Structure 1
Amino acid sequence: MHVPDGFINAPVSAAAGVVAAAAVAVSLRGARRELAGAGQGTGSAAERTAPLAGLVAAFIFAVQMLNFPVGAGTSGHLLGGALAAILVGPYTGVLCVSVVLLMQGVLFADGGLTALGVNITDMAIVTTVVAYLLFRGLVKILPRRRGSVTVAAFVAALVSVPAAAIAFTALYALGGTADVPIGKVFTAMVGVHVLIGIGEAAITALTVGAVIAVRPDLVHGARGLAKPLELRTAPVSAPAAPAPAAGDLGTAARETAPAAPAPAEPAVATADAPAPADSTPAPVAAPRRSARGVWLAGLAAALLCAGGVSYYASASPDGLEKVAHDQGIDAKAEDHAAKDSPLADYGVKNLADPRLSGGLAGVIGVGATLAVGTGVFVVLRRRRAASPGGRPAAARPHEDA
């Protein structure tokens, strides 16, 4: 659903750019809180969330290369707003998809540069907001178990795609450059993107379900479903005295009569004998769990999708391209400013082998998106930690080690 240059006029494109810039600014502040509050407030887990958020952006980039057929010579691809919001949070999700759209527009000539604000508004903001609001509502009414998160993710992703189609139709009604009846645009866009939404929902549910199965603590939308670990202690009882013989009952009664308690002496701690601990056990820190395995698995999946599986993606036009061609929306479409880029159209320039050209371009795209996304989130995390509202250094002893 990448909107090219020339579909929407300059005033509406500029207004959409202002909306996108404001939403990104708000998301930057919100993402700081989401990154700082990751991992149940522990600093080590929060530090791991920035690389994971960058990985989510790279994974979305890779899976967007996998166009799947939806019938009638049309294909679709993942938008990713629902997936990002559920995995890393709505604010961080907006930034993830925005980074993907920026890299696609600048490096691969996919989505117009003057239409970048339109694409961020439509594909990053609308999908993320609609999906996350619906997801949170469903999680509240469904049974509190992990399967409910997957079901809610499926429904939220399904609805987010036609919601983006409706948003595009509204933008086109305000600033479309071709004289096309808006009713036809609405019917065609929503109709085909409902079908694409089924594919989006399946990809989102499978991905969320896979991460929940191994590390539910890393899924933003699944927080609060797992019960915290409790440390239980049982009092130590003295060994039971042997039962007296029948003839000794009287003697036993005298020996077991309660004696006057001896006065308690205060416990004094010395260098050799520390003071006795009370009966309340000291809190035990939860063991640190590394996210390296999940990160490596996600990176391997992204590289496999972009570097290999993308060769088998459907060559049919996606939903917007098909509707634009059939309805005449593309009458005034403009060439991309980066059409001569070395990676334009997801291929390496002057590399004749299409499989190698597309695969190498995909790998480069994953690496670039991962680097930019991770860099953005690491900076945000560190600025949050260094701000007056962040956690003081004394509260993060592991960072001083």
Structure 2
Amino acid sequence: MSTTFEDQREPGDFSHEDIGRIHAQAKVAPGEIAIGVVIGRTSEYFDFFVFGIACVLVFPTVFFPFESRLDGMLLSFAIFSLAFIARPFGTTLFMTAQRRWSRGTKLTIALFLLGSATAGMAFLPGYGVIGSWAIGLLAFFRFLQGIALGGSWDGLPSLLALNTPPERRGWYAMLGQLSAPIGFMIASALFLFLHAELAQDDFIDWGWRYPFFVAFAINVVALFARLRLVVTEEYTRAMEERELEPIGIIPMIERQGYNIFVGAFAALASYALFHLVSIFPLSWITLGTTQSVNEVLAVQIVGAVAGIFGIIASGIVADRIGRRTTLGTAAALIGVFALFAPWLLGGGKAAQDAFILIGFLLLGFSYGQAAGSVTSNFEIHLRYTGAALTSDFAWLIGAGFAPLVALGLSARFGLVAVSVYLLSGVACTLLALRVNRALAAKE
């Protein structure tokens, strides 16, 4: 079997005897941890996808009526990126809060902030009522979303990676990633229902606000589900014995800061594809009027199901050929897909639907193992903070600006820009994987 991220023995790693002792003392089953990851992440993805879909269907009309529909979407996508810029700051701030108080306190504040910021958007008057204040408040709430998401890191993915049998790490790693297509599916289905059942004026006036209200309720449920796990004695003991506790950002960067960037770029192809098959097609297709909004949302819901199958397949394949090999293979497949992207997305309904469905399947296969680049390159006592920051920068570099860049460049230069964007992500992933292998060989 190929050497994988999780197979690399760092100086701070525990021996097999230590692992056995920890399993015996801190009885937190991998399946239970995976459930906690899925529940917690689903609420976060739902919040972010609700905003992303609204950037296409709602915000250009409500907050940027003075611009063309294209420019309104571009401005909305610019605000969309603010949350990804804010995430590293949120991680730093809430790591300090956890060291001062507790993990449960930090998580409670972060998720209530996330839900409140999302629900706050539902109460915002449009530009026609309060002018530019509406745009400023939308940007403010979006920035708060990013701060809160950075603070919601609970270490569950790292604990899951360290508590699974080596031969099953690919399988358990993919379980936590299922939250992405599930969150997208719920958000898309809710918008599809409202957009299909309401008159357009009613949808723009008040209908779009309901998904933002729902987000707060989902976050409350997710909070209690996660607290039920993270505040237990078994979980706390497992985290402490694994040294999965927050440390200062500066010491972490001084010790292994290079791993943040290696890990962020190792899964860049997956993150680059993430919003190019979820948010971008909705904007491009509706602008071109080749399909209705409802038709695109319906296909994307099916695409999310394909993404789930892709994620499951990644777990099976990774346990057979290794996680690094799986990530590299997925990147190569994304590269091939990128070559056909302009023809598919610029074609008729069948070709556009194929772009969405194939894209989601590839996204699932690549994203299913993307967490491996986040959790495995750090020494044990650095992993809690390092994994959080690596995830933040992976999202920022790979996905944060994807809808804005893809739509802006495609509108100016054509859909070949999508190919270039994806191929650049593929190149970064393959290079980072090679660097990672070289670093592992030196240790």
State TM-score, norm by structure 2.
0.27
Of structures 1 and 2, the larger Rg is shown by: 1
State TM-score, norm by structure 1.
0.29
**Larger RCO, structures 1/2 (Cα 8 Å, 6+ apart):** 1
Between Structure 1 and Structure 2, the one with more helix by share is 2
